[in-house]
Structure 1
Amino acid sequence: MDRGTQLRERLLGFRPTDALWGWLGPILFAVIGGGLRFWSLDRPHQLVFDETYYVKQGVSMLDHGVEMRWNGDGEEVDPLFTQGTTAVFNTTDGDMVVHPPVGKWIIAFGEWVFGSTSSFGWRFSVALLGTLSILMVGRIARRLFGSNWLGAIAAFLMAFEGHHFVHSRTGLLDIILMFFAIAAFGALLIDRDWSRARLADKAAGLPTSFATGPMMWWRPWRLVAALSLGLACGTKWSGLYFFAAFGLMTVFWDIGARRAAGARHW
């Protein structure tokens, strides 16, 4: 066995090759989970919990481009809003907002497609991202554990997890933040395998022990992860925690890979 093959096995481990089965399980449970999440999504036709903020702010984004202050408090405005009166905003005073605008624009997309008075539209974007996240978790688990079965089980657990189910049917920001965080992790996981395969090929032409190893400047999946993390931070400030944790994680992955390939210095 040549050194390049040995390095690939050391750095990448076992990888399932039957791509069809690796997709079927996660897709199946994403379809089932999506059906559960979209079923009667418009019920109840009233603002639930913090939907009172984000659903109305999404409408304000569409109508005014920014979050405008309401004409009255929630107990006065919410009944009017749910009955079809969306002109509940003060057109001269901006609202004091807590979170950045990305998630509210995503909620606004569903309101733009299905109408600002549609409770289905209020929750459409969140339900869609919640459904897609089931597929993503299944695929991430398959890559992480090298098992089609574990990928399917992860998607199954996500499809029927109660907390995820409830949040996917509510026009809140949490599922949107979770979606971008999962997307960032998945991109970094792909980058880990992608870069290790190239590291193995490049290190095969070097001595068995070398100083720091070959440079690899082009890491497109890291750019995808950076974009996803930026969107996470643009949804909720707590996305910064993922930025810090994943940034350290990918550096430590690189350190471990280079040491395993024969680099003497981190």
Structure 2
Amino acid sequence: MPWGLLLLWLFALATRFWGLTRFPTLVFDEVYFARFGRNYLAGVPFFDAHPPLGKYLIALGIWLGGGFHPWGYRWMNALLGSLIPVAVAVLAYLLTGRSRVALLSGGFVALDGLFLVESRYALINVPLVLLGVVGQILWLWGLRYRGRGRSLWLIAAGIVFGACVAVKWSGLGFLLAVGLFWLLQQGLPLPAEWKTTYQWWQMCLLLPLVAFGVYTLLWLPHLQFHPHQSLLVLHQQMFNFHRSVSSTAHPYCSPWWSWPLLLRPMSYFFQRVQSLAEPVPVIGPPLPLAETQWVYAVYALFNPPLLWLGTLATLALLPLGLTTTAGRFLLLNYAAHLLPWALVSRCVFIYHYLPAALYSFMALAWVWEASQDWGAWSRWLRIAVLGGVIGGFLYWLPLSLGLPLTPAAFFRRMWLRSWI
């Protein structure tokens, strides 16, 4: 498996770094997050609706990368994004003990379009997901120890969970999932490698206190630039901002229930040109479609076959998944990252589904492995699944990397009218 993890990481690294500076302009929310990172380096105060850690990382990338240019503010996110498939593979192995399920889980993430897009720009969903998965790895690893060793691993998990929430408040979903899993595990048989489960004081006191402490400490650099604001006031402003955003504030708003069906992806970048020699971005009004020869587009679009198969696999786990440890963990994580959005009235987007989709991909890997017991015909089913996922990745890859397409080729990839 170590060689498999290395190859997985190298593939993810190559796809995330290749052509990283293709568009020498701020793309999508880079207009906020990349500039916020630069503001930290310049000591300029600003208001942000999210906690600060994601922008600290962008600022670190700008500082190490030699300035405020596309490579400088993107490379750190690309590096972190390349580690997500590896982290997912490790998490899947801890849950199942099966190398094939682990590598397949990580491979599915590496072959997904939205994880790829989010890794190639100065955005903050990638550190959110990576820290959440690493926190869960540490939490699960602690179950293999007793006494002080277990508490130390739990403290390490709490540190990472606190950092995760310091990227976005939605990082609480990772902490909620392990809490629900711990509650549901009470009185149930444990896997052989787990000594015992965590004690109530570890889960109800130690873990949340460590996470809250780290979350608070990570605000201190931000507060240095805002000496006249308290942490409480900042949180009130952030909460009021999110509450004030209308459910129809953006043309790409999409309800939470539509995400597993992939009904409304987002356009992050779109330019029409007459020649591939024409510099991008184009200055001036958009070119009429009738005169357009080429289209550059970056879409926040999951790999469609992978996402739909992941949704089906998650549904397939419902009857029997709760009877196994790994099944409970996957289903509870999926629910903890999806269902709370039903309570949110503001405008939400397809990228909010990234953490939940992660566990649907792991569910697909688990079902794929289990299908070997379904009979000889299942071999062709497994081949079709892998072919569909790889084919989907390659077919929609131009929309992940921003490669030029003819208008006809672009519209062929818009399978649903709601994608446009």
Q: CA deviation at 1:55?
A: 0.2
Work out whether 1:62 is the aligned partner of 2:41: yes
Query: 1:233-248 counterparts in 2 under 5 A?
Result: 233-248=165-180
Identify the structure with bigger relative contact order (alpha carbons < 8 Å, sequence gap 6+).
Answer: 1
Deviations 1:23-51 (A, max 9, x none): 22122111111111011111211111111
Counterparts of 1:191 and 1:155, CA distance in 2: 22
**Partner of residue 135, structure 2:** 184
Which of 16, 39, 45 does residue 18 from structure 2 map onto? Answer: 39
Structure 1 length-normalised TM: 0.67
Distance 1:245 1:143, change over 3 A: closer
**Partner of residue 115, structure 1:** 66
Question: Which ranges of structure 1 fall in alignment gaps of 5 or more residues?
Answer: 1-21, 69-93, 199-215
Query: What is the one-letter code of the residue matched to 1:164?
Result: F
Moved over 4 A (4+): 260-263
SS of 1:238's partner is helix
Contact 1:30 1:155 in 2 (8 A): no
Which of 140, 164, 168 does residue 119 from structure 2 map onto? Answer: 168
SS of 1:116's partner is coil
Counterparts of 1:104 and 1:42, CA distance in 2: 19
Work out whether 1:225 is the aligned partner of 2:176: no
Structure 2 length-normalised TM: 0.43
Query: What is the one-letter code of the residue matched to 1:25?
Result: G
Distance 1:256 1:97, change over 3 A: same
Work out whether 1:52 is the aligned partner of 2:31: yes
- RMSD across aligned positions (CA): 2.5
Contact 1:110 1:121 in 2 (8 A): yes
Q: Across the two proteins, how many residue pairs are aligned to each other?
A: 195
**Partner of residue 110, structure 2:** 159
Query: 1:1-266 counterparts in 2 under 5 A?
Result: 22-64=1-43, 68=44, 94-192=45-143, 194-195=144-145, 198=146, 216-219=147-150, 220-253=152-185, 255-256=187-188
Q: CA deviation at 1:233?
A: 1.0
Q: CA deviation at 1:242?
A: 2.3
Larger Rg computed on CA atoms: 1
Contact 2:132 2:160 in 1 (8 A): yes
Q: CA deviation at 1:240?
A: 2.2
Question: Which ranges of structure 2 fall in alignment gaps of 5 or more residues?
Answer: 201-420
Deviations 1:49-105 (A, max 9, x none): 1110000000111110xxx4xxxxxxxxxxxxxxxxxxxxxxxxx322101111100
